[in-house]
């Protein structure tokens, strides 16, 4: 029996999900997409998970793309179904009720970049390479790359990356707004865990409200987005965490949030 394509571990409220196909540079085949979808569904429902870190096994790749060997034999209908499977996973990650951090430890190409862009934060090693090289395969991005890249980096950068198909380094990706932070490869895990630990201590309901408000605002007009923000803001006043947070501020102490 082949090794599971995804491994999962949890410590102090931080769930780490790792794509485990280093011999294939963690390429996304159907089995891996389905395993990731199940892993994120379980993480969303787990009461002990406050933050999720997503990364790839090995030193070379986060996820180097979709599995080309598997795609080569697909028909047009099967190709569309493969795209929809990937898009379902990306939407699940994007709509997670708790923050998801992509720890980009190497190549994030094609489906790998699409996977990273679905996460809420992206921390990249200075050695990482990112891109949408599908044009070189006679393809276009199929897991949401044209849409999320457009929203993160704008039209000019999206067309450059998709039409030319050349990867960019992590520093250029940060300049374009594709990644949030770039750190030395040797410090990547520690820096990502530091951010995850900070988020794990934050008010969970407020984090969820922020994620929801940003997601809604990115998909609607400003008036609708502002209305949703006000509704979420008001809802926080019904939570014990809001009372604890404001009380702790007034008492000059660290808050102890209870997710209620």
- Which phi-psi region, left, alpha or beta, contains residue 111 (left: φ > 0; alpha: ψ -120 to 50)? alpha
Tell me how far apart the 2 most distant CA atoms of the chain are, in Å: 64
Catalytic residues: 114, 134
Residues 6+ away with beta carbon under 8 Å from 191:
123, 181, 183
- Residue 255 has which token pair? 């808050």
Place of tokens 């963690």: 26
DSSP calls for 152-216: HH-HHHHHHHHHH---EEHHHHHHTTS-SEEE-GGGHHHHHHHHHHHHHTS-HHHHHHHHHHHHH
Helix (H, G, I), strand (E, B) or coil at 49: coil
């Amino acid at each position: 029996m082949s090794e599971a394509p995804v491994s999962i571990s949890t410590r102090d409220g931080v769930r780490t999900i790792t794509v485990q196909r280093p011999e294939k540079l963690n390429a996304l085949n159907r089995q891996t997409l389905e395993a990731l979808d199940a892993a994120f569904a379980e993480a969303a429902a787990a009461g002990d998970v406050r933050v999720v870190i997503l990364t790839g096994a090995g030193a070379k790749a986060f996820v180097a793309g979709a599995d080309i060997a598997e795609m080569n034999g697909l028909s047009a209908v099967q190709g569309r179904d493969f795209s929809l499977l990937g898009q379902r996973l990306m939407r699940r990650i994007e709509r997670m009720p708790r923050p998801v951090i992509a720890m980009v430890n190497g190549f994030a190409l094609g489906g790998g970049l699409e996977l990273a862009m679905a996460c809420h934060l992206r921390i990249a090693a200075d050695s990482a390479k990112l891109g949408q090289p599908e044009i070189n395969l006679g393809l276009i991005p199929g897991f949401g790359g044209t849409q999320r890249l457009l929203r993160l980096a704008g039209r000019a950068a999206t067309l450059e990356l998709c039409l030319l198909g050349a990867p960019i380094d992590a520093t250029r990706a940060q300049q374009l707004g594709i990644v949030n932070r770039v750190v030395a490869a040797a410090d990547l895990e520690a820096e990502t865990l530091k951010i995850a630990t900070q988020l794990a201590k934050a008010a969970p309901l407020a984090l969820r409200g922020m994620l929801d408000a940003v997601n809604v605002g990115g998909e609607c007009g400003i008036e609708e987005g502002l209305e949703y923000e006000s509704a979420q803001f008001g809802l926080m006043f019904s939570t014990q965490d809001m009372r604890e947070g404001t009380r702790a501020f007034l008492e000059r102490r660290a808050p102890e949030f209870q997710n209620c």
